[in-house]
A and B are shown apart, each in its own frame.
Chain A
Amino acid sequence: MSDAVKQEERLGMEPRRLPSASICCAIGWLGLLLALGLFGRWLAPYDHTAIDLLDRLTPPVGFGGSFAHPLGTDELGRDLLSRLLVSIQMSVLIACGATLLGAILGTLLGFLAAHARGTVEQAILALVDFQATMPFLILALAILAFIGNSLVIFMGLLALHGWERYARIARGLALSANTQGYAGAVWQLGASPARIYLVHILPNVMATLIVSMTIAFPEIVLVESGLSFLGLGVQPPATSLGSMVGNGRDYLATAPWILIIPAATISLMALSVSLVGDWLRDRFERTGLR
């Protein structure tokens, strides 16, 4: 037996392999975006709303522009670098906030359904089905048209995008843990429901929830961009990546950089989160935590 134990220890001490280059790039890019989201506003060379009509549509450095405006200017002569930094902050804030809110809401409702069973469970499942069958854009248009728009409402609305997935996952995993697994065992030890769900089930389903958050995050970024592009999202003078893309549409032929720079930022952000999510899922599966 001691040999087997030693063997296990040797296996356990095997050094962790570094993730592949693409994953490192994705993590680096996300880290950069996060840092820019946190501190970008103070790095911006100009005020993002400052208009300079004499300097309209300046191209970026390398395409005939100057270092006065490294990423060029838009149709009102606003510095694109400054606008990009502020937009990243807004988009990251909205996407992170909405993803977290959605995950918390969905997980709570899923646990509630698994715990209460009966009518409560049926009601929550009906809500889940309603959410899953309702085209999100229509729901968003209706809510924004009736309630109006503010940052908090917008974030709350985006949180509704995808909450039903967390609810389903949380309910399913909690049910199986309750009937035949560790949660049932802890239940018969005399543990309170709060203890069962928070100390045991939540950590066990966390890996799965984190992976679905990385799937939901790029979707929320894209929905936010889409709504802002349509003029229903973030309202001026505030700006987000999506509203920058919406602005740049009219100048696509003459000044493509206005659109390309924020659009590339969105794509790379969505791609990076997906890559990291995939990698996390593989890692969790290898370690047997699902």
Chain B
Amino acid sequence: MTAVPLVEARDLVKTYGSRRQHAVRAVNGVTLKLMRGETLGLAGESGCGKSTLGRLLLGLEAADSGSVDFNGSPLAPAGTAEWRRSRARMQMVFQDPLSALDRLLPIATQVREPLVIHKFGSQAQMDERVADLLNAVGLTAAQGRRLPGELSGGQRQRAVLARALATSPDLLVCDEPTSALDMLVQAQVLDLFAEIQSASGVAILFISHDLRALRRVSDRVAVMYLGSIVEEGPARQVLEAPRHPYTQALISSVPGVHGLNPHRILLGGEPPSPTQRRPGCAFHPRCASAVQACGQTVPAFRPASSPSHRVACHLLPTGGTPAAIARTVA
């Protein structure tokens, strides 16, 4: 592909906390590309740095090192006038819609707000745009006149989505947008995301720990563990034929209609602490098939079954079996 990616992140690192032994390296060398009109699902357990990565890509926070290019040019620092103008092109959808909305203002007023901020046009044009947006996310004009507290969780998330779409952004970062909703409403909102994407061609970074939600909306899926991406590729390949041991464990833990998978992979050991990193692969202390090399060097990102499906694991067969690799490394 020769087209310029919409978002291109290179070697992003973000550390929180100043004292050396308590510093949390939330994002540890992430390189990522997102093309126009594509949905990238970002999976991983709580605390693995998914949300931080989303905020870095939007330029809401500055990375310690590495760079984010949007449409081929770097983002302006947060808070500057240029940064504020660039917000019209990229938007965020939050996990908790109630706290993301101002509870004193009617829904329609809040959907209108980005239009006012980015000087969309005349009053009449804005009125029309707000009506279109509410309609597109499945809210009625009467619901638009209500306060956030008077709507249900799903309706609020629709309102947040309408506000995010107001300026027709190129990029939408959705941070666990369905995790505060019940299953039925989740399904409706996920369908809405898919619908909006096909209608507007917006690129979506969909952050979720819910693999079923990711499968429903994503073109590609990236799996994060302890601040790094361990596997990335087309949604079908990653979710149906995972190559990284962590992805395999993650996917086997998803309960089906008949309850938990009896053959699921149980991870041993403690959930990782990003303050105490160990050398080598971040996952090796909990990996059932770890070999000696795993504790020594960080595995490189390598293509697996297809060039677009890439995995960071020493055990990935590059021509030999895992056992053969183990022998050669030893």
A and B associate? yes
B interface residue numbers (CB < 8 A to A): 58, 60, 83-88, 91-92, 94, 99-105, 113-114, 117-118, 149-150, 152, 160, 163
Q: Which residue of chain B is the closest to A182 with respect to CB atoms? A: B102
Known: A180-B99, A203-B104, A288-B103. A185 touches B87 (CB 8 A): no
Pick the most buried of A180, A181, A204: most chain B CB atoms within 10 A of its CB: A181
Known: A195-B117, A288-B149. A189 touches B91 (CB 8 A): yes
Tell yes or no: A190 within 8 A of B by CB.
yes
Partner of A182, one of B85, B87, B103, B117: B103
- When distances are taken between beta carbons in the complex, the residues of chain A under 8 Å from B103 are 182, 204, 288-289
- When distances are taken between beta carbons in the complex, the residues of chain A under 8 Å from B118 are 190
User: Is A190 within 8 A of B87, CB to CB?
Assistant: yes
- Bound-state CA distance A188–B57 (Å) is 13
Tell yes or no: A191 within 8 A of B by CB.
yes
Tell yes or no: A192 within 8 A of B by CB.
yes
Interface string of A119-149 (1 = CB under 8 A from B): 0000000000000000000000000000000
Partner of B87, one of A8, A12, A189, A289: A189
Known: A191-B113, A195-B117. A181 touches B87 (CB 8 A): no
Chain A nearest Cβ from B5, distance in angstroms: 22
Partner of A8, one of B102, B105, B150: B150
- When distances are taken between beta carbons in the complex, the residues of chain B under 8 Å from A185 are 92, 94, 100-101, 160
Partner of A181, one of B99, B105, B150, B163: B99
Partner of A200, one of B102, B150, B152: B102
Q: Which residue of chain B is the closest to A207 with respect to CB atoms? A: B104
User: Is B117 within 8 A of A191, CB to CB?
Assistant: yes
- Bound-state CA distance A4–B143 (Å) is 13
- When distances are taken between beta carbons in the complex, the residues of chain B under 8 Å from A12 are 150
Tell yes or no: A260 within 8 A of B by CB.
no
Interface string of A170-203 (1 = CB under 8 A from B): 0000000000111011101111100100001001
User: Is A181 within 8 A of B100, CB to CB?
Assistant: yes
- Bound-state CA distance A189–B87 (Å) is 6
- Bound-state CA distance A109–B31 (Å) is 42
Known: A8-B150, A185-B94, A288-B149. A190 touches B117 (CB 8 A): yes
Interface string of A1-45 (1 = CB under 8 A from B): 000100010001000000000000000000000000000000000
Pick the most buried of B86, B94, B118, B163: most chain A CB atoms within 10 A of its CB: B94
Chain A nearest Cβ from B177, distance in angstroms: 13
A sample of 20 inter-chain contacts (CB < 8 A) reads: A4-B152, A12-B150, A181-B99, A182-B100, A182-B103, A184-B100, A186-B102, A188-B87, A189-B113, A189-B114, A190-B85, A190-B86, A190-B87, A190-B114, A192-B84, A195-B117, A200-B105, A204-B103, A204-B104, A288-B103
Known contacts A182-B103, A188-B58, A289-B103, then 16 further A-B pairs from the complex at CB < 8 Å, ordered by chain A residue: A12-B150, A180-B99, A185-B160, A188-B60, A188-B87, A188-B91, A189-B113, A189-B114, A189-B163, A190-B83, A190-B118, A191-B113, A192-B84, A192-B117, A288-B103, A289-B104
Instruction: Classify the interface of chain A: helix, strand, loop or mixed.
Output: helix
3 nearest A-B residue pairs (beta carbon): A190-B87, A185-B100, A182-B102
- Bound-state CA distance A185–B117 (Å) is 13
- Bound-state CA distance A289–B148 (Å) is 12
User: Is A190 within 8 A of B102, CB to CB?
Assistant: no
- When distances are taken between beta carbons in the complex, the residues of chain A under 8 Å from B150 are 8, 12
- Bound-state CA distance A181–B58 (Å) is 17
- When distances are taken between beta carbons in the complex, the residues of chain A under 8 Å from B163 are 189
- When distances are taken between beta carbons in the complex, the residues of chain B under 8 Å from A189 are 87, 91, 113-114, 117, 163
- Bound-state CA distance A195–B114 (Å) is 12
- Bound-state CA distance A4–B149 (Å) is 14
Pick the most buried of A184, A188, A288, A289: most chain B CB atoms within 10 A of its CB: A188
- Bound-state CA distance A203–B105 (Å) is 10
Chain B nearest Cβ from A119, distance in angstroms: 17
Pick the most buried of B100, B149, B160, B163: most chain A CB atoms within 10 A of its CB: B100
Chain B nearest Cβ from A197, distance in angstroms: 13
Chain B nearest Cβ from A188, distance in angstroms: 5
Pick the most buried of A8, A191, A288: most chain B CB atoms within 10 A of its CB: A191
User: Is B102 within 8 A of A188, CB to CB?
Assistant: no
Q: Which residue of chain B is the closest to A12 with respect to CB atoms? A: B150
Chain B nearest Cβ from A115, distance in angstroms: 10
- When distances are taken between beta carbons in the complex, the residues of chain A under 8 Å from B160 are 185
Chain A nearest Cβ from B182, distance in angstroms: 14
Chain A nearest Cβ from B83, distance in angstroms: 8
- Bound-state CA distance A8–B103 (Å) is 17
- Bound-state CA distance A182–B110 (Å) is 10
- When distances are taken between beta carbons in the complex, the residues of chain A under 8 Å from B104 are 203-204, 289
